[in-house]
Amino acid sequence: MLDKPYLLQALNHYKDESMSLGNVYYAGTLPEPPQLAYQVHFPRIEMVLAGEIEMELGSQTGVEQRHVFHQGDVIYLPAESWNQPSWNKPVVTLTVMVGKQSFGLSLLSWDGEKYDSAIKETVLRRGPRVGTFILNALDELTKQIESQATMKLLISSLFSHIVDLIEQPLETPSKSHALFESVRDYLEQHYHEPLTRESVAEHFYVSPNYLSQLFQKEGHIKFNEYLNHIRLERAKFLLVKYDMKVKEVAHRCGFKDSNYFCRVFRAQTERSPSEYRTQYLSAHVDG
């Protein structure tokens, strides 16, 4: 049966025994993910703790990746990368989701017929920069010549860091700060929807004025400024990764009015969306 001690046992084992990890694979964003594939806007790691599972992965080049993953095998999935497992045989998997403020840990068991109830833990990070250099190194290795030994050491280092956070947790944040983080997470997951200050306030059972005060107090930023920031960061990604029209990018990022999107984009970057795409792609080719 899955429980928190099982999770800690697995993390402790692999943080101390990096060479007992199996193969490390990278996922990418290409081609377009199939239906029911898992794709999120933040980095994550998936690992087989017991059994085996067949899985299709996105790639950097668009060439199909399909592998059977065995005990100890690890997949590193940068933001926007995707994977699609086939649940055919008994397997236990560990997923580590990397948020700006926390790590999300999830254990899932499939016995061939049904899922065991997943064990989920949220571990607060000590600020968004702590642990980031490990993730940056993992990202860099996906673009360089593959080095299994280095990847395994980095995965073990990340597990060691998470164990430290579990064993020495941060103090519980204030209620207002906890609400602020919950609202931020909500915006990052639902930015593409027609959100307003009023609709988000209603979702969290607070007044619009209180929501504005919360963002000023905890984030030192206005609510709409933060929502636009999330949407624009997503728009930048879509502009350089996909050959979409600017109007489609705007709508996919939650902007109803593409002209307003262009004005906001230029105000932040001093370039139009088309100019941003052209300059990025030109620099990427030249590099």
- For residue range 37-68, list pLDDT tens digits in order: 998 888 999 999 999 999 999 998 888 899 99
94: its two tokens: 């560990």
Q: Where in the chain is the domain with CATH 1.10.10.60?
A: 175-286
Task: Name the percent of the chain lying above pLDDT 90.
Answer: 59
Q: List Cβ neighbours of 223 (8 Å cut-off, separation of 6 or more).
A: 197, 200, 211, 212, 215
Q: Rounded to whole angstroms, how far apart are CA atoms 120 and 238?
A: 31
Beta strand pairing call for 24-26 and 74-77: parallel
Check if the beta carbon of residue 221 is closer than 8 Å to that of residue 215: yes
Question: Whole-number mean pLDDT of the chain?
Answer: 89
Q: What is the mean pLDDT of residues 19-33?
A: 92
Q: What is the mean pLDDT of residues 18-34?
A: 91
117 confidence band (pLDDT: 50, 70, 90): low
Whole-number pLDDT of residue 67: 95
Per-residue pLDDT tens for 171-193? 666 888 889 988 998 998 899 99
pLDDT at 220 over 80: yes
Check if the beta carbon of residue 43 is closer than 8 Å to that of residue 135: yes
Check if the beta carbon of residue 179 is closer than 8 Å to that of residue 221: no
122 confidence band (pLDDT: 50, 70, 90): confident
pTM of model > 0.75: no
192: its two tokens: 């593409």
Check if the beta carbon of residue 123 is closer than 8 Å to that of residue 67: no
pLDDT at 287 over 60: no
Least confident among 15-24, 35-44, 171-180, 199-208 = 171-180
- Looking at domain 175-286, its CATH architecture is Orthogonal Bundle (1.10)
Q: Rounded to whole angstroms, how far apart are CA atoms 279 and 61?
A: 22
Least confident among 16-30, 105-119, 227-241 = 105-119
Check if the beta carbon of residue 168 is closer than 8 Å to that of residue 182: no
CA distances from 127 to 100, 114, 155, 235 (A): 8, 38, 20, 25
Rg (alpha carbons) of the chain, rounded to whole number? 20
Q: What is the mean pLDDT of residues 116-143?
A: 79
